[in-house]
Structure 1
Amino acid sequence: MKHTLMMTAAALTLGLNMTAQAAEPLKIGISAEPYPPFTYTSSEGEWTGFEVELGMAICEAMDEACEITPTGWSGIIPSLKAGRIDMIMNSMSITQARQRVIDFSQPYYFTPGAFVAADDLALEVPEGLDGLVLGVQSATTNATYARRALRDSVGDIRLYDQAEQVNRDLLAGRLDVILADEIAMTEFLERDEAEGYEIKATAPRHEAYGEGVGIGIRKGDDALKTKIDAAIAQVRDDGTCSILSEQYFGTDICT
């Protein structure tokens, strides 16, 4: 009888532990500031976009429950390190500087930076940037590239907290040119208000851009990294990543 009670108690404990685990989905950190078409809110107020859908497909491949957890971009790495989120999936490039504080999965896409300006502006990059005002989102690889490679070529570099602020100031005439992710800029230029603007050039391969875009993971979380890497390989091999890429961009950006 005592043995039976002990087994029953153990089974209850196991059941409670399994319930607790099921109640704690992995938290996917994305920037609280929309970054279409990668991450944005739908008309119903739900987060969607290429990386949201791909993130959920990766979680399905891992057989893990996940939830989207919006976090301010400037605080997204501290939130990961503090355990408030479990992974970052927000077009974060794998760079040496970031690898000193967090780990990354294998890359799942790569896209260069693009210079965007009015179509009637004759612009050669970087020679033609002299005297112009360049806008770029802070804490991004594009900002790092601008500081390292363009500071002696451009008249003024202005940093912004949010990508949409950069776009608005370009349209308002407060900036001459902006530097941002090429895929995001292709989407931006499809807006009615962006008529009359175009991509002038793409940034060359530079160490500031790292090895591509990967999922950020806490240092030492090796088991999760192994599962994510296997899941990325699966969604690439079974075509899920390419299908979503074609849906959102009209091209395949999956590495």
Structure 2
Amino acid sequence: MKIKNKLLSTFVAASLAISAGSAMAAEKIRFATEGAWALFNFIDETGKPQGFDVDIADALCEKLQAECEMVTQDWDGLIPGLKVRKFDAIIASMSITEERQRVVDFTDPYYSGGLRFVAAKDKDFDTTVEALKGKTIGAQRATVGGIYLEDNLSDVVNVKLYDTNDSVYLDLKSGRLDGAISDELPTYEWLKNEPGFEYKGEAFNKNDKIGIAVRKNDQELRDKLNRALQAIVADGTYAEINAKYFPFSIY
């Protein structure tokens, strides 16, 4: 009898240990970001991902009492990587579009943005369609800016698409581009360090909503992230992170 009780106790303890281990594993969220979209996501001098997106992910994990792991992935590989379970969610300033919603699900928006032209200050750059004719305009491939450029101006301007926004900026500075279309907020940070360049015209496409992507029908994770997002907005954590990067609200 004592032997049976001892065996039973051992079995229960082992079962509890396995259950506890499974619960701990379930509380780990593996986020992916691009690492090339400052100030939202970038790689610091130690090789570690940083930025607004990363800080939001950390705050969400803290609210959920989950372990947060951040990995980097080239932009074009983010959604394919999510689908094959290389990571659990994408937090990379990804716009919520109908096309993407066909293959992934999104949380509620965690910030809103818009598009804007940028060019050299000393360049005569009018953003009307007539004035843009024949100009060479750049944008990052597969972004809202790049898609807008292809869909709306490909018969007006010479379109140049790049793998990263940093490459767009490099060609803009070298004079290989007359101008660029980019998300207004990342460009805001770049312009602070590039006094020879400025926004041209007003912001447009302001209905750009940015969300965290999860695998299609991963309702449990999406709901958890939405609840955590609401919580960090309510308790002021979101506002603190916002103020770290921008002197105005982007929520």
Q: TM-score, normalised by structure 1?
A: 0.91
Over aligned residue pairs, what C-alpha RMSD do you find? 1.7
SS at match of 1:110: strand
User: Identity of paired residues, percent?
Assistant: 34
Q: Displacement, 1:4?
A: 4.1
1:43 to 24, 42, 45: 45
Q: What is the letter of the counterpart of residue 199 of structure 1?
A: Y
CA shift, 1:73, in A, is 0.9
Alignment of 1:179-190 (within 5 A): 179-190=181-192
**Shift of the alpha carbon at 1:182?**
0.7
- Which of 227, 238, 243 aligns to 1:241? It is 238
**Aligned partner of residue 59 in structure 1, secondary structure:** helix
Deviations 1:56-89, CA, capped at 9 Å, x for gaps: 0011112211110111110100110111110000
Q: What residue identity is the alignment partner of 1:72?
A: D
- Residue 204 of structure 2 corresponds to which residue in structure 1? 204
Q: How many pairs align?
A: 247
SS in 2 for 1:44: coil
1:230 counterpart = 2:227: yes
Unpaired stretches in structure 1, ≥5 consecutive residues: none
1:98-137 map, 5 Å: 98-127=100-129, 128-137=131-140
- Partner of residue 83, structure 1: 85
* Consecutive unaligned residues in structure 2, runs of 5 or more: none
Q: Using the alignment, how far apart are the partners of 1:41 and 1:72 within structure 2?
A: 13
Give the drift of 1:132: 0.6
Q: Which runs of 4+ in 1 moved over 3 A?
A: none
Which one has a bigger Cα radius of gyration?
A: 2
AA aligned opposite 2:74: G
1:30 maps to 2:55: no
Which stretch of the first structure deviates more once superposed, 96-105 or 45-54? 45-54
The 1-side partners of 2:118 and 2:159 are apart by 14
**One-letter code of the match for 1:93?**
S
Contact kept? 1:51, 1:90, Cα under 8 Å: yes
The change in CA–CA distance for 1:23 and 1:227 in structure 2 (over 3 A counts) is: closer
1:73 and 1:17 mapped to 2: Cα distance? 36
Moved more, 36-45 or 82-91: 36-45
**TM-score, scaled to structure 2:** 0.92
Rounded to whole Å, the distance in 2 between the matches of 1:149 and 1:7 is 69
